[in-house]
Structure 1
Amino acid sequence: MSDLPALPPPSSLLLLVRLRLVVCVGLVAMAASGGVAGAQGDTPPTAAQGAAQGAAPTTSQRETQGDPPQGDALVVTAEATFLRDTPGTRGRVLGRLEQGAAVDVLDRSAGDWWRVRGGSPPREGYVHRLVLGPSSRTRPRLPPPVALPRPDDTAPPVVEPAVDVPADRAPRGTTGPGLLLFAGAGVFVPLARESFDAVGITGNPVAFSGGLEVTRIIRGLFARASVDWISETGERVFIGDAGERFGLGIPLDVTMTPIDVTAGWRFEYRDRRGRPGRLVPFVGGGAGILRYRETDPFADEADEVDERFASYHLLGGADVAISRWVGVRFEYRFRAVPDAIGSGGVSAVTGDSSLGGSTVTVGVVLGR
């Protein structure tokens, strides 16, 4: 029994076990923390971490900032815009692009003005970026409000809306067929001057005109239907064999009513800002029917003259816009009515054969 080693007291043994347990737990904790740190150092950052560290904005972020998404094929989202030869509203207008027109973006290096190809036939030019977007959008998005720096720590932040860059939007209602109503008055200078003088109509009769005109049928092409009314009073006369004129003292009413159909071209133009020009020259020509009447208070129906003749005319003039819907028209018209007279009566003596002549009128135009 005396050869066995002496055992420590029970209290000392319990303290030693507790000390070894604390050391083991500490070593396990240190090993675990070192492994986690190594794993974190070797793992690449996630997409969310990269975005938080300053990654480039996404497509949706760019749309929120006002620009259409990157891509070559866009459409016009404004009601209409102009295609210009240089960046800016001072560029010459090459054409007009309606809402929904597809364009190919060729260059975006000129700031807010992008070089595109579009239209029919396709042409290259510049349009403002705010009138372009994908086909799903109906209006260009504006930039978000800009927060200004706070002047001090106590004042609330001042937020002002961003200024919308003026987009190059075309005026509305300037394409497609238009409709004009016109009426005017002027003077008629007859070709049968000697015959009119012989019956006492020595001046130039007053002519009234009016009608309806369809414009921009195909670009500057127009079509018109019109009627004129020319009337003057002279007297019945007798012409002797030697050409002597003897007035009979019987009033003679002479009335001419031309009904015409005209086709022509209007030279419409726009200024550098795309606005319609105030002066619009035009030329045209056509044919019609002229009704000629001679009546007096004592004549029987058999003695009255009421005939119709084919007529041909050329015209030219200009419209001057006073407002959007009202203008003034100046017009010259030459009419030929061949072989209408000359077979009897006064005209057989004077040798006149045409009831045509020149008409100069000034009138009012309503419409666009």
Structure 2
Amino acid sequence: MQRHRRPWEKAAALAVGVSLAARIGTLLVNAVTFPRLSGKMRPATPGSLPEVSLLVPARNEAQNLPRTLPRLLRQGAGEVLVLDDGSSDGTAEVARRLGAQVISGQPLPPGWRGKPWACQQLAGAARGERLIFTDADVTWEDGALAALLEQWEREPASLLSVWPRQVNRRLGERLITPMVDTMTLGLLPWPLLCRPEPAFAAANGQVMAFRRRPYLAAGGHALVRGEILEDFAFARRFKERGETLALVLGSDLISVRMYHSYREAVQGFGKNSLAAHGGQRAALALGAAAVFFSYSWPYLTRNHTLIALGLTEGLLVRLITRRTRPDELAELLLTPLVAPAGWPTYLLAARRQVSWKGRRYDQSQAG
């Protein structure tokens, strides 16, 4: 029997329904238009792509490198450089043992964030005409670099960024990490991202590929030296300089396992969430409320229309990103838990300082 809804509930349901429907519309557009990497999975001849430098900023990544670095070394790049950014877990030793050239990171200068400084040092040491920065937790399947370069020829942009396919294995990872794809693909239609206006700019710092000349002309990562969310900032400022951007989904060739537990996910998203909301705590609170009303409230009020819309959105995201194994589709059952699982992230993000991998980030200037 349908419960009676008060006027405010009807208004809220209408607002949530319109929001979900708009995101579903964006996802349908992206399903048709968003480019995907494609190609054969096969090892390349070592050094067959001398113009390419694969650059890996690494801080306490000894757990990830044995899984990801050997595949990077098989891509055929002219060089693979790993910057050890003050690790305390033997990252440098692991990288050297696996066969990469390792650079010891210099102390963090005033005004710089950790990752932009690590990338700036890597670029200074690289010889290639194409500088491809990739995080240490990103897995490149055999042939992925060749596929990326082929896509780059089709879209000869100054910056090409890849959104890797997510790999989540434990329950704690699955609670909130998939929301990254939901928010990015559901809010950012690819045709708008292709426009030259800086307002329509996005990139993913997990894989960012630059042509050397425009990158150096912009000052490299000094362009975003003080940014926590440096990827979106770089994309926007690159467009402001008149440079072109291209985006592509990693599909089956480039994937990432961002976190290994719920606690890691909370800490990681806690570091980035305030910046993702424009540095405004009011926007952060509104974002938390929007997630609650979109994904938990429909189940509390037994609004079957909103529940169906939320599940449709989640299914479309997984179809677009090719996350369609049974365990990945089963994540949809966690939908009503997304909001409460994310509350610790919002509370952490609202603090004056957040920490990640032994570094503290001051957010006192945020609104």
Give the TM-score range, shorter chain. under 0.3
Please tell me whether Structure 1 or Structure 2 has the larger radius of gyration of its CA atoms.
Answer: 1
More helix as a share of residues: 2
More strand as a share of residues: 1
Normalization by structure 1: what TM-score?
Answer: 0.19
Normalization by structure 2: what TM-score?
Answer: 0.19
